[in-house]
């Protein structure tokens, strides 16, 4: 009986995690994000409670290849936002780290004065299980910090193709960080990444080739036949010495104003909710299927597929039909 | 009426794509893979027909960071396999190219004599839509080439964390290609990648630092407390000059024999089928949900979520309950 006590205590703490987040309890926020990462049922209930208090933060996505200095840029931005009296949450996500989970990015190199600042919350996340899970967890963590009352939430992720695109899709303003002189290996700026960029930053611009990289990005943007309403500026920074970061923050704020004034912000939020709702519905159905599939029947099908008596497509159809019949 | 004719002709061609693949028609194989990429219903029917003829090919996964020389290694391997009188299919997948789709990797740099060889089939794929789709399409393409009768199918993908792990999960033997002197940026060899490696290759081993890289990999492997049955060899190659590729092929064949002799091969195939069946069932249910969701109700929920009258989690539960009630 004794062994139940800690769990009960933990349980009762969970119960009011959302309320504690709303009361600006950072440890509650951290714990809720951990629950979200583990995809605990409880986490969704707490997120449900928090929903009413979300929608106020400006969410900024920052992405780019390893070594481009993303984290330094994020830290500099955060300090400048703090200097304006605003609070900042930082979520650093590393989708290239499949199984380790946790503190790869972020904790390592963060500025100490930032981590000690009461108005700042920093968290790093790695992949647990599959990619969709990480993007979902990142989105949940953003919501927690939004509900917590952070004026700005920065979602930082390392460039890795489709995964970074999925993760920064939760941001209002997306900053792509590059560096000069990638030469042949400028494979990092791919078509899909170009499309999601609201602002380009060439960091380490004191190195040779910054202007050339800027021109290359400009040329790639020029390939777009339609002239977009918002033309992504291409900035040069040296985050290490704080050079150009003020201009970056200005542009970030300008983009936010543009989104609000043009009505794009509302549309963006609505699209996000549609997608989230679809994802949640799919999750529900998958769990439903797990519960309803006849395991014996499933194993029999696997053996028949192995023996090539049936193909996997026909087998799946039959198993789904069984589920439908059960629901009837 | 006239406008229907081409579709009918196309339709009847689709009808026997599987038969044509079995008759070793390369154009049919190429067309079926295109259908698979577009996730056409028809593609699954054809794959269903092909299933009985699959399971004979040795599937080799080759992955590594951009610039490591994966494609050259794959080409060299393919030529050596051909020289032994075996046929080879190559599927080059680039998950870091989210929206462009198609010929990024592969076509660019492939050896001409390889592409002219009757016993070789080469195809490149990029991401269309989301990542799960790409991994599924790659798996489908492997099946087509397996059923076609290719003795070996090489699945080549560029290193990008979780996505490459998902894609090479369809292979029996996984080769990780690295290069010397990545120094600080040896972030590419991540925990998750280490775990899936059956063979390590340090390509461009004529550059400085190859031995150091080999030692680093050895040290990382040493961190594993359990001694694995198969200890991944760490090879050095210079694919450009063909140095070390013979040994690589030997090790690949040795690994295949080990899988067969140890009974791991059978287990691996069974696991793959279990996963595929689960994925297919989920796909079915998602399509079912798309059909059954009341769009008006869905739109109303979106508006209520936006107005913060309801949270997304509760809304999703209610919509799923509606689907369940409809099925009853």
Interatomic CA distance for residues B224 and A161, integer angstroms? 30
Backbone φ/ψ region at B263: left (φ over 0), alpha (ψ -120 to 50), beta: left
Size of interface A-B (CB pairs under 8 A): 213
How many whole angstroms from its chain centre is CA A118? Answer: 23
Contact indicator for A42, A14 with CB cutoff of 8 Å: yes
Q: What is the per-residue pLDDT for A140?
A: 94
Contact indicator for A36, A140 with CB cutoff of 8 Å: yes
Q: What is the per-residue pLDDT for B101?
A: 36
| Chain B residues touching residue A269 (CB < 8 angstroms) | 306
Q: What is the mean pLDDT of each run of 10 residues along chain A (328 residues)?
A: 41 72 95 90 91 95 86 94 96 66 45 81 76 81 97 87 76 92 51 80 93 86 81 95 97 97 94 90 83 89 94 92 79
User: Given an 8 Å threshold on Cβ–Cβ distance, is B192 in contact with A315?
Assistant: no
Q: What is the per-residue pLDDT for A9?
A: 44
Contact indicator for A60, A155 with CB cutoff of 8 Å: yes
Render the burial of B2-24: b for 16+ CB within 10 Å, e for the rest. Answer: eeeeeeeeeeeebeebbebbbee
Taking the CA atoms of chain A, what radius of gyration do you get in angstroms? Answer: 23
Q: What is the per-residue pLDDT for B19?
A: 95
- What number of CA atoms fall less than 13 Å from residue B242's CA on the CB side? 5
In sequence order, the β-bridge partners of residue A123 are A91
- B43: nearest CA in chain A? A313
Q: Which of B212, B215, B219, B221 is nearest to B193 (CA)?
A: B221
Interatomic CA distance for residues A283 and B318, integer angstroms? 13
Q: What is the per-residue pLDDT for B112?
A: 67
Interatomic CA distance for residues B137 and B126, integer angstroms? 10
Q: What is the per-residue pLDDT for B190?
A: 56
User: Given an 8 Å threshold on Cβ–Cβ distance, is A127 in contact with B285?
Assistant: no
Q: What is the per-residue pLDDT for B290?
A: 81
pLDDT in tens, B108-125: 456 667 878 889 999 988
Q: What is the per-residue pLDDT for A192?
A: 62
Interatomic CA distance for residues B163 and A102, integer angstroms? 18
Q: Which of B22, B21, B11, B119 is nearest to B32 (CA)?
A: B21
Interatomic CA distance for residues B5 and B13, integer angstroms? 12
Class of domain A55-262: alpha beta
Looking at the complex, report in whole angstroms how far the Cα of residue B78 sits from the nearest Cα belonging to chain A.
26
What are φ and ψ of residue A155, in 5° steps?
A: -105, 105
Contact indicator for A85, A117 with CB cutoff of 8 Å: no
Interatomic CA distance for residues B115 and A271, integer angstroms? 44
Per-residue pLDDT of chain B (328 residues; tens, 9 = 90+): 344 444 444 444 555 899 999 999 999 999 999 999 888 888 989 999 999 999 999 999 999 877 788 989 999 999 999 999 999 999 998 776 543 333 444 444 566 678 788 899 999 887 665 556 788 889 999 999 999 999 999 999 886 566 677 788 899 999 999 888 754 444 445 556 777 899 999 999 999 889 988 988 888 888 777 788 999 999 999 999 999 999 999 999 999 999 999 999 999 999 999 989 988 888 888 888 788 888 899 999 999 999 999 999 999 999 988 887 877 6
Q: Which of B108, B125, B134, B277 to mutate to test the interface with A (most CBs of A within 10 A)?
A: B277
Q: What is the per-residue pLDDT for A104?
A: 43
User: What are the sequence ranges of the domains in chain A?
Assistant: 1-53, 55-262, 278-327
Q: What is the per-residue pLDDT for B57?
A: 97
Looking at the complex, report in whole angstroms how far the Cα of residue B1 sits from the nearest Cα belonging to chain A.
34
User: Given an 8 Å threshold on Cβ–Cβ distance, is B162 in contact with A98?
Assistant: yes
User: Given an 8 Å threshold on Cβ–Cβ distance, is B301 in contact with A185?
Assistant: no
Looking at the complex, report in whole angstroms how far the Cα of residue A160 sits from the nearest Cα belonging to chain B.
6
Interatomic CA distance for residues B271 and A226, integer angstroms? 48
| Chain A residues touching residue B127 (CB < 8 angstroms) | 161-162, 192
Question: Which of B66, B134, B280 faces A312 most closely, judged by CB atoms?
Answer: B280
Render the burial of B38-61: b for 16+ CB within 10 Å, e for the rest. Answer: eeeeebbbbbbbbbebbeebbbbb
- Cβ partners under 8 Å of residue B78, min gap 6: B88, B90, B114, B120, B154
Looking at the complex, report in whole angstroms how far the Cα of residue A37 sits from the nearest Cα belonging to chain B.
16
Interatomic CA distance for residues B249 and B271, integer angstroms? 26
How many whole angstroms from its chain centre is CA B3? Answer: 37
Interatomic CA distance for residues A93 and A171, integer angstroms? 13
Token code pair at residue B190: 């991540």
Topology of domain B54-275, CATH: Rossmann fold (3.40.50)
User: Given an 8 Å threshold on Cβ–Cβ distance, is B66 in contact with A187?
Assistant: yes
Reported pTM? 0.72
Q: Is the dihedral of CA A219, A196, B162, B92 positive or negative?
A: negative
Interatomic CA distance for residues A98 and B73, integer angstroms? 25
Render the burial of A275-296: b for 16+ CB within 10 Å, e for the rest. Answer: ebbbbbbbbbbeebbeeebeee
- Cβ partners under 8 Å of residue B167, min gap 6: B61, B63, B93, B95, B134, B135, B138, B155, B157
- B183: nearest CA in chain A? A67
ipTM of this predicted complex? 0.80
User: Given an 8 Å threshold on Cβ–Cβ distance, is B163 in contact with A165?
Assistant: no
Question: Which of A131, A165, A311 faces B48 most closely, judged by CB atoms?
Answer: A311
User: Given an 8 Å threshold on Cβ–Cβ distance, is B324 in contact with A319?
Assistant: no
């Amino acid at each position: 009986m004794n062994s139940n006590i800690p769990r009960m205590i933990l349980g009762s703490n969970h119960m009011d995690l959302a309320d504690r987040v709303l009361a600006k309890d950072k440890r509650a926020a951290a714990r809720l994000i951990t629950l979200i990462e583990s995809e605990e049922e409880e986490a969704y209930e707490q997120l449900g409670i928090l929903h009413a208090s979300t929608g106020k933060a400006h969410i900024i996505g920052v992405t780019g290849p390893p070594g481009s200095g993303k984290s330094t840029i994020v830290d500099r931005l955060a300090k400048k936002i703090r200097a304006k009296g605003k609070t900042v949450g930082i979520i650093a996500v590393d989708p290239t780290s499949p199984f380790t989970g946790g503190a790869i990015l972020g904790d390592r190199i963060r500025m100490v004065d930032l981590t000690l600042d009461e108005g700042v919350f920093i968290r790093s996340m790695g992949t647990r299980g599959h990619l969709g899970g990480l993007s979902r967890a990142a989105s949940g963590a953003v919501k927690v910090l939004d509900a917590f009352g952070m004026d700005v939430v920065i979602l930082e992720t390392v460039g890795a193709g489709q995964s970074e695109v999925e993760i920064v899709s939760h941001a209002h303003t997306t900053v792509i960080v590059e560096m000069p002189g990638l030469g042949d290996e400028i494979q990092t700026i791919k078509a899909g990444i170009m499309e999601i960029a609201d602002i380009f930053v060439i960091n380490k611009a004191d190195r040779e080739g910054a202007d050339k990289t800027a021109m290359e990005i400009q040329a790639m943007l020029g390939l777009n036949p339609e002239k977009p309403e918002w033309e992504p500026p291409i900035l040069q920074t040296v985050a290490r010495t704080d050079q150009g970061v003020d201009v970056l923050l200005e542009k970030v704020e300008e983009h936010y104003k543009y989104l609000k004034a043009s009505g794009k912000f509302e549309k963006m939020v609505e699209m996000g909710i549609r997608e989230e709702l679809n994802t949640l519905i799919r999750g529900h159905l998958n769990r439903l299927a797990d519960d309803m599939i006849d395991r014996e029947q499933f194993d029999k099908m696997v053996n028949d597929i192995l023996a090539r008596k049936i193909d996997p497509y026909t087998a799946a159809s039959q198993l789904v039909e069984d589920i439908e019949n059960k629901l009837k």
